[in-house]
Amino acid sequence: MSGHNRWAKIKHGKAKQDIVRGKLFTKAIKELTISAKNGGGDPALNASLRVAIQKAKDINMPQDTIKKAIQRGTGELPGVNYEELTYEGYGPGGCAIIIDVLTDNKNKAVAEIRYLFDRNNGKMAEAGAVSYMFKKRACFTVSKEKATEDSLMSIVLDAGAEDIKEVGDVFEITGEPSAFEAIKAALDNAKIETESGAITKMPDTYVALNKNDAEKMIRLEEALEEYDDVQDVYSNYDIDEATAAEMA
């Protein structure tokens, strides 16, 4: 279980699910708006917008909501002016953390992120302190119940995937960010359902955490993810099976 595999977390309870769904909508709207602002409102000419639209559809966002978010980005509708920021830091056990933020209040955001680090056994770091440890990757996960490793290889390698490996009860498919759409199309054409699909930041190496540090790190990660301006949290922590079993 690695830090970047956040999709492996299970959320329980309808109230919790409703809160999570609301936050997913908020994050998706921000991503649609900033993608349209940076690259224009035509998804045919804007790859990042195409990805943002697909992510919005994956969480069943209404088409009208998607359209309005894009129009706010292009200036066709009035909207909030978001700024893209990235913060870095260290978590319990010395693991590296990157936080991507979209905010309309930079001063407030940096203060809140610093507070969350301090409150949850972490430490905020200077820009560049840990970002060199991560690379942008297209990443998909497929349940082992949906496909075999051999069948996945024959489908996605020609589409630009570079690696397939077992991670718990899923297969993790990775490749260059530019291959995201081709890999997704190949999986869709083969009618293979994915657990997740995103352009993410994956670490080159991992830091193994003991039970105490792992519990603290998960609390820090969840606190950061729950802050409204945070889009994504990436880390290089790793929890082995024995430690995960202790925490279950």
Confidence of residue 23 (pLDDT cuts 50, 70, 90): confident
pTM: 0.83
CB 106 within 8 A of CB 172: no
More confident call, 18 vs 131: 131
Q: pLDDT, tens digit, for every residue of 46-74? A: 999 999 998 899 889 999 999 999 999 99
Q: What is the mean pLDDT of residues 96-108?
A: 96
DSSP conformation class of 193: P
Which of these, 135, 136, 131, lies nearest to 98 by C-alpha position? 131
Mean pLDDT of 107-129: 97
Note the pLDDT of residue 196.
86
> What average pLDDT does range 93-110 have in this prediction?
96
Measured distance CA(63)–CA(55) in Å, rounded: 12
Mean pLDDT, all residues of the chain: 88
Higher per-residue pLDDT: 146 or 12: 146
Beta pairing partners, 134: 203
User: Domains in the chain and their CATH numbers?
Assistant: 12-74 (1.10.10.200), 83-132+205-247 (3.30.70.980), 135-202 (3.30.70.980)
**Rounded percentage of the chain residues whose pLDDT exceeds 90:** 78
